[in-house]
Chains A and B, each alone.
Chain A
Amino acid sequence: MKPADQFRLLELSERYADEKLSAAEVAALETELRENAEARAFFAKALHQRAELCFDDAWHTQAAATAAPAARPVWWRHAITAAAAACVTFAAVWLNSTRDGTVATLIRAQQCQWAGSSLPTVEGARLKPGMLDLIEGLAVLRFDSGAELVLEAPATVEVLDGMNCKLRRGTLVAEVPPQAKGFSIDTKDAKVIDWGTKFGLSAGEDGKYLVQVLEGLVEVDDKSGSASKKLEKGQRVDHGWSHSQLHPAGSDDAEPSLWQPAIVMDTGDGWQAITTAFGRGKDSYIQSSEKAAQDFGTHPFFRVKRSQDTKPDLNRKGYLAFDLSKFSGRTLEEAELVLTIEPSELGFASFVPDSTFAVYGVLDETADTWEENGLSWQHAPAHDPAQAERHLPVAAKVKLLGRFDIAQGINRGTRKLRGPELASFLSADTNQIATLIICRETNETQASGLVHAFATKENSTRSAPMLRVKLR
């Protein structure tokens, strides 16, 4: 076989595996492979080599024995089976159909929960025009025009027809193939028309929106009457969205929330619990930024993010301190940290795989005096803005207490960390206050990935970070 033919077959095998061959190319390939045994053996060899590269990472580990390996996004492979099982129902409030019949397919539903009354469904369900209200997970809709939307919870989308839909609130990533050029997504204050591309869109019920073009060309038609804008790859229009996410309205509610008791709770079975609202407890976060320090202490959440190798890199780390004075002199037999996930609408969940978080204890007790409003990227315990691993604390100044995971698209629920490391770290405390640092080990796969958030004591609906201990 000539090298040129081998080369051609290799490229065909790659595009075949990517499902990028046209029907005509597949037919020609089939004929060639049937008639030419040599070509067939070569094609099989190409597929087999590709499979060896895809099946595991052994080749990479060997090749990059010295370099630090990047986090491998194998999430999709493992998440998908669990996702089908976890996704039980979806709500579709059928509105007046603009057409008869179905216009789209729910092709994937990962860890999904849907709001409202429910129709049982599975992946593969055909959708008529109507409303989808996703409260948890990631769901992929494919319109019959070929346009694909990845909905990121929480999101409410109204399916109109094969070429139109409305994003009432939330975030989605749209991928529109050439045949669906002109696919449009309406929001309260703007209409986004796609000219064959990939873009992210966030919108709120208050009209705020954000359009970010990842590839190709998008037209944004602001309903205020100003001329429509054409956006190219890398460009974005931010109509109040990021501002509202970055500057959350403080709670006007002066009443202390039921969720945040400033007392020691005794559950009677030897376990006691406190939150960061107790005594000298505190919670805040820091964010890598050239700008002046911002006051994150009053936010109803702390944010955690790793963003390495992307620009701008916005790493964030959470800081918690628990007042241990009530347990002073007692031996902690067991301890458990409980964090409540706060839905974050900052960034795209599509770009952050299943994530692992690490919890560290700060060893130097003099560092426990940090203040919620004085914490900054330039100045924080066990932190060095100059170190390479910016998303982690300074290794020598902390002790790893454990890890927990949050699957892609999950934005509710609690995570618990329990173990001897946490109990012994707290037992070793001598100044009645202990500082913990929460980091995300998982990197985003491209810029503008989701920022995870957890409720703080300033949160009026969700529980503050809680420490449960069992005293001997």
Chain B
Amino acid sequence: MSSPDRTQEFLELLTRHDRALGVYVYSLVPTPHDADDILQQTKMILWRCFDQFECGTNFLAWARKTAFHQVLTHRRQKKREATPLSDEMLELLHDEVSKLSDSGDRRGDALRHCVAKLPAAHRQLVTLRYYEDLEIDGVAERIRSTVGAVYRALSRVRMSLMTCVENELKLEGAES
């Protein structure tokens, strides 16, 4: 397993799929520090079991499956219920998120493009929430609004981002 070629191969695969794997885990585990713990654990297991991985098959799918198992393990170990949906529902969401994650960087690129096109006030909201990592009540305080209003405003912005991303992907599909 630890032959230099094999190590090299592992690192290349992991690097190529690092972001997709990260986003996958963040989708199922919204608490960043839990997600980071799971990611770290997953990567260690991937490396340890790399000799079971058949070259030429889908590394990302294999990594996601491993990560999903870690998500379930993590939920069981945690006293605090981090993700209150059932294991079965999580598995169904795993299927859906996996499909999205297979569209690779195109979805992420489109999102970046769409965020850049947002009106300034909308972009500020996204920045406060996801870049400055403010809690919703922190955002409310900053823009002098209420928690309920911030959730609604954020959902509106997220909705326009979703529409924009789908349009971008469609356009791209039409061009290629």
Chain A residues close to B by CB (< 8 Å) = 3, 6-7, 10-11, 14-21, 23, 26, 29-30, 33-34, 40-41, 43-60, 62-64, 70, 72-74, 76-78, 80-81, 107, 124, 215, 445-446
B33/A80 in contact, CB under 8 A: yes
Given contacts A14-B158, A45-B162, contact A51 B26 (CB under 8 A): yes
Bound complex: CA A21 to CA B137 (Å)? 15
A54 touches B130 (CB 8 A): yes
Q: Is the CB of A47 within 8 A of B151?
A: no
B154 at the interface (CB under 8 A from A): yes
How distant is B93 from chain A, measured CB to nearest CB, in Å? Answer: 5
Of the A-B pairs whose beta carbons lie under 8 Å apart in the complex, a sample of 25, sorted by A's number, is: A14-B151, A14-B155, A41-B96, A44-B93, A44-B96, A47-B27, A48-B97, A49-B111, A49-B158, A50-B27, A50-B30, A51-B22, A51-B23, A51-B25, A52-B111, A53-B115, A53-B126, A53-B130, A56-B19, A63-B112, A72-B131, A72-B132, A77-B36, A81-B37, A124-B79
B28 in contact (CB, < 8 A): yes
Contact partners of B162 in chain A: CB under 8 A: 10, 45-46, 49
Choice from B30, B40, B165 contacting A16 with Cβ under 8 Å: B30
Q: Please state if B131 and A215 are interface contacts (CB–CB under 8 Å).
A: no
CB neighbors of A among B78-125 (8 A): 79-80, 82, 84-86, 88-89, 92-93, 96-97, 100-101, 107-108, 111-113, 115-116, 118, 123
Find out whether the CB atom of A40 lies under 8 angstroms from the CB atom of B96: yes
Q: Is A47 touching B93 in the complex (CB atoms < 8 A)?
A: yes
B12 on the A face (CB < 8 A): no
A46 touches B158 (CB 8 A): yes
Q: Is A215's CB under 8 angstroms from B141's CB?
A: yes
List of A residues within 8 angstroms of B67 by Cβ: none
Q: Does B44 count as interface, using CB distance less than 8 angstroms?
A: no
Q: Once bound together, how far apart are the Cα atoms of A21 and B111, in whole Å?
A: 27
Contact of A62 among B25, B85, B116, B152 (CB under 8 A): B116
When the two chains form their complex, are residues B32 and A54 in contact, meaning their CB atoms are under 8 A apart?
yes
Chain A residues with CB under 8 Å of B37's CB are 80-81
Whose C-beta in chain B lies nearest to the C-beta of A22? Answer: B84
Interface SS majority for chain B:
helix
User: Given contacts A19-B82, A49-B165, A51-B23, are A7 and B100 in contact (CB under 8 A)?
Assistant: no
Q: Once the chains are docked, how many angstroms separate the CA of A33 from the CA of B32?
A: 24
By a CB distance below 8 angstroms, the chain A residues around B33 are: 76-77, 80-81
**Inter-subunit contact A43/B93 (CB<8 Å):** yes
Identify which of A7, A16, A18, A72 contacts B159 (C-beta below 8 A): A7
* Contact A26–B85 (Cβ < 8 Å): yes
A45: chain B residues within 8 A (beta carbon): 96, 100, 162
Contact A70 B19 (CB under 8 A): no
* Interface size grouping (class) on chain B: 35 or more
- Chain A, Cβ-Cβ closest to B32: A77
Q: Report Cα–Cα, A103/B8, bound state, in Å.
A: 52
CA distance A390 to B26 in the complex (A): 37
Contact A60 B136 (CB under 8 A): no
Question: Contacts of B112 on A, CB cut-off 8 Å?
Answer: 58-59, 62-63
Closest beta carbon of chain A to B168's beta carbon, Å: 13
Q: Contact at B30–A17, with CB atoms within 8 Å?
A: yes
Q: Is B127 an interface residue (CB 8 A)?
A: yes
For A47, give its contact among B92, B97, B159, B165 (CB under 8 Å): B97
A51 interface neighbour in B27, B84, B126, Cβ under 8 Å: B27
Q: A63 to chain B: which residues have CB within 8 Å?
A: 112, 115-116, 118, 123, 127
4 smallest beta-carbon distances between A and B, as pairs: A44-B96, A17-B30, A51-B26, A53-B130
Q: Does B133 contact A (CB under 8 A)?
A: yes
- The residue on A at minimum CB distance from B36 is A77
Assess whether B71 is interfacial by the CB under 8 Å rule: no
A57 contacts B84, C-beta separation under 8 Å:
no
- Whether the pair A11, B32 counts as a contact (CB closer than 8 A) is no
In the bound assembly, the distance between CA atoms of A20 and B88 in angstroms comes to 21
| With A48-B27, A49-B165, A62-B115: A14-B154 Cβ-Cβ less than 8 Å | yes
- In the bound assembly, the distance between CA atoms of A301 and B23 in angstroms comes to 45
- Which residues of chain A are near B51, meaning CB under 8 Å? none
How far, in whole Å, are A72 and B126 apart by their CA atoms in the complex? 14
Complex Cα distance, B156 from A215, in Å, reads 26
| A197 CB to nearest B CB, Å | 11
Chain B residues lying within 8 Å of A60, measured Cβ to Cβ, are 115, 127, 130-131
Interface centre among B26, B82, B141 (most CB of A within 10 A): B26
In the complex, whether B46 has a CB less than 8 A from a CB of chain A is no
> Which chain B residue lies CB-closest to A69?
B131
Q: How far is the CA of A53 from the CA of B30 in the complex (A)?
A: 11
**Complex: A346 Cα to B23 Cα, angstroms:** 39
Q: Complex formed: what's the CA distance from A7 to B137 in Å?
A: 20
Evaluate contact between A11 and B155: CB separation under 8 angstroms.
yes
Asked if B9 is at the interface of the complex by the 8 Å CB criterion, the answer is no
- Which residue of A is nearest B96, CB measured? A44
In the complex, the chain A residue whose C-beta lies closest to that of B82 is A19
- Chain B contacts for A16, CB-based, 8 A: 30, 85
B158 and A47 within 8 A (CB)? no
The minimal Cβ–Cβ distance linking A49 to chain B, given in whole angstroms, is 6
